[in-house]
Amino acid sequence: KNEVEQSPQNLTAQEGEFITINCSYSVGISALHWLQQHPGGGIVSLFMLSSGKKKHGRLIATINIQEKHSSLHITASHPRDSAVYICAVRPPAYSGAGSYQLTFGKGTKLSVIP
Amino acid sequence: EAQVTQNPRYLITVTGKKLTVTCSQNMNHEYMSWYRQDPGLGLRQIYYSMNVEVTDKGDVPEGYKVSRKEKRNFPLILESPSPNQTSLYFCASSLSPGQGGYGYTFGSGTRLTVV
């Protein structure tokens, strides 16, 4: 079973700062997801990555398959970015039914101060 | 609007009283899943379903049941709830590879307290 580690666990930043959240996993995957959970509790899917880099607005996600590592970057951070960011990985497609099963990191709690 | 709808959002119940948390999606997704989220443990999978009448256990299935009689609905059943099932529960759905992708849509969550 994959072990997913996120760092840091908690992060406090000043508004406008560049933020990086890291995710490492132990065995090969078919895809990695970055999720955002706001204080109200709802979970939103931000990115799904199997290689390279994706960008959406001020958010950038990268993945290095060889190093089993992904990063989520937030440029020009804003208080509304305050949330818990969760990394989740999917097993390879040859896992059959198991390839749908996500393994989650414990999350990174981000607080952006005005 | 494409969404996963969970009900109820909040529920307080007593030990042993059977309850059902409903989950419905309007995106024709084949894959549906239930997770629980606990402080310090993160999200863990309870059960999942690949399609109608196809379900399987996740990491923490004990004390839970599911059914998938229709593609859109995937209820979570606690036949005899216990206090250790107090948690925040999420339902999610996803396209299958045959449907074109792996993106997940989550419901808004159900906060369950068992006293």
Q: What is the pLDDT of residues B56-98, one digit of tens each?
A: 999 899 999 999 999 999 999 999 999 999 999 999 998 865 4
Give the nearest partner residue to A41 out of B40, B42, B109, using CB atoms: B109
Q: What is the pLDDT of residue B102?
A: 61
pLDDT class for A97, splitting at 50, 70, 90?
A: low
Residue-level pLDDT at A101: 79
pLDDT above 60 (res B99): no
How far off is chain A from B105, nearest CA to CA, in Å? 7
Interface list for chain A against chain B, based on CB atoms closer than 8 Å: 30-31, 33, 35, 41-45, 48, 86, 88, 90, 93, 97, 100-102, 104-107
Those residues whose C-beta lies under 8 Å from the C-beta of residue B111, and which sit 6 or more positions away, are A41, B9, B10, B11, B88, B89
Q: Is the per-residue pLDDT at A100 higher than 90?
A: no
Average pLDDT, chain B: 92
Nearest neighbour of A48 by CB, restricted to B56, B96, B103: B103
Residue of A nearest to B96 (CA): A100
pLDDT at residue A12 in the model: 97
pLDDT > 80? residue B11: yes
- Of chain A, the end-to-end C-alpha distance in Å amounts to 40
Closest residue, chain A, to B36 (C-alpha) = A104
What is the predicted pLDDT for the residue at A39? Answer: 84
Q: CA B88 → CA A33, A65, B6, B84, B96, distances in Å?
A: 20, 32, 12, 12, 26
Single-letter amino acid code for the residue at B56? D
Query: What pLDDT sits at residue B66?
Result: 98
Nearest CA to CA, how far is B14 from chain A (Å)? 23
Residue type, B67: S
Cross-chain CB nearest to B43 (options A42, A100, A104): A104
* Lookup: tokens for B38: 């606990």
Chain-chain contact of A100 with B31 (C-beta, under 8 angstroms)? yes
ω into residue B8 within 30 of 0, thus cis?
yes
Question: CB of A87 within 8 A of CB of A32?
Answer: yes
Cβ contacts of residue A14 below 8 Å, gap of 6+?
A77, A112, A113
The predicted-structure confidence for A15-64, as pLDDT tens digits, reads as follows 999 999 999 999 888 889 999 999 878 899 899 888 999 999 999 999 99
Q: Provide the pLDDT for residue B112.
A: 98
Name the amino acid, one letter, at B103: G
The whole-number pLDDT of residue B97 equals 53
Amino acid at B88: L
Of residues B2 and A94, the one with the higher pLDDT is B2
pLDDT at A102: 84
Q: Which among B41, B56, B106 is the nearest to A97, CB-wise? A: B56
In this prediction, residue A94 carries a pLDDT of 67
Quick one: DSSP state of residue A97? G
Q: State residue A40's pLDDT score.
A: 79
Q: What per-residue confidence (pLDDT) applies to A24? A: 98
Which residue type does B13 have?
T
Residues B26-66: tens digit of each pLDDT: 999 988 999 999 998 999 999 999 899 999 999 899 999 99
